[in-house]
Amino acid sequence: MVSFQMRNLGELSIENNDIYGSIPDCIGNLSLLQKVFLSSNRLASSIPVNLWKHENLLYLNLSFNYFKGRGIYLSWTYHTIIYLGQYQGLWPEALQYLKYLNVSFNQLSGEIPSGGLFANLTAKSFLANKGCCGRPDFGVPPCSSHNTQKSKTPLNRLTYILPVIASTIILPAVIYMLAKNQKRNAEIPSSDTNLMAEEHGFISYNDLCRATNDFCESNSLGVGGFGSVYKGILFDGTTVAIKVLNLQREGTYKSFDTECKVWRTMRHRNLVKVITICSSPDIRALVLEYISNGSLENVNILVDISSALEYLHHGQLEVVVHCDLKPSNILLDDDMVGHVADFDIAKYLAENQDNTQTKTLGTIGYVAPEYGLEGKVSARGDVYSFGIMMLEIF
């Protein structure tokens, strides 16, 4: 148990430290505390009530921990994600003291408050929360205690008859259009993309254009097998890496689904973190954590890489095979910590499955021989690629 006696503490940041246990109640007694960053640890149990009711608290990041029970994600900005374990989905009054708030794509319910911070918010802050009600400009239905008794006038009878007549005309047209576009619909992203949206929310194409200055060439960070990566700055000043997929290339939609599935299920300090996604008929893009020190060249960060591989191969029920491990896919942050990136050709192995087949080749010089000759990928292939990088470094 940690004891907090620093009464003048204004910011607490102990992220990525593999800390076990629960958050002590005394942390909420720090009256001057404004920013708390506890993400990417192994904290469990529940959140102290006096912490998320702290009147001076402006930022709270508890993401990527192990809090039990039904929870919600609260996002103050695109990069600050808050996870409140065992919170049952009603609106806490203390939220009015926050500086920023965006709770889109969660499972909140009940009436959205209208005072304090909420007075200046719009519908963009409450997208896809089906159980909410409140002001019309929040984009939710009005709250009502009882439905009024419906009149049985002929006009009201038409409200039942007209939809039936309209459906007999519109339904065949809809079926025809679906059949006509069946091939195109076959490439629509799977439910993993929708689940990604539920966890991280969407960002619009216009936001991406503003962030990258219309995808200016000076913001280009590189070109990969399935798309290009740009440096961007979001509206709140956060620097990000934006991976835009080339939709003209065969297999791009499947590649996007694969990356969404990996990012949705994987949480590790040595994997590049996803912030949000952009998915529309005209663009597929991933907004990722910006890693400032480029990719692996001659820096000894093999422990970080091996830690990430151990997590991918043994940390989940399904084994994730990266399939394209190479120096340019190992990025270094400000502390020179390595992060594995680029999962567009990754493969999943079911439990007790040793290998699988693929038609998409990794980078020549790093793939295992059986990968190139037979299209057979396995976790051993990633280890082979890791060994090649070790030889290059030493």
Give the annotated binding-site residues for ATP.
243
Token output for 69: 């029970």
Strand partners, 376: 357
What DSSP designation does 271 have? B
* Exposure string over 365-385, b if 16+ CB within 10 A, otherwise e: ebbbeebeeeebbbbbbbebb
Other CB atoms within a 10 A radius of the CB of residue 62 amount to 24
Token output for 95: 């939220």
Region at 195 (left for phi over 0; alpha for psi -120 to 50; beta for the rest): alpha
What is the C-alpha to C-alpha distance for residues 369 and 374, in angstroms, rounded to an integer? 8
Closest to 255 in 3D by CA, of 345, 188, 376:
345
Instruction: Identify the burial level of 256 via C-beta atoms within 10 angstroms of its C-beta, where 0-12 means exposed, 13-18 middle and 19 or more buried.
Output: buried
HEC readout, 319-364 = EEECCCCCHHHEEECCCCCEEECCCCCCEEECCCCCCEECCCCCCC
Scan for tokens 């030493």, then name that residue. Answer: 394
Beta strands, E only, 63-177 = 72-75, 81-84, 109-111, 131-133
| Residues identified as active-site | 324
The answer to whether the CB of 343 falls within 8 A of the CB of 337 is: no
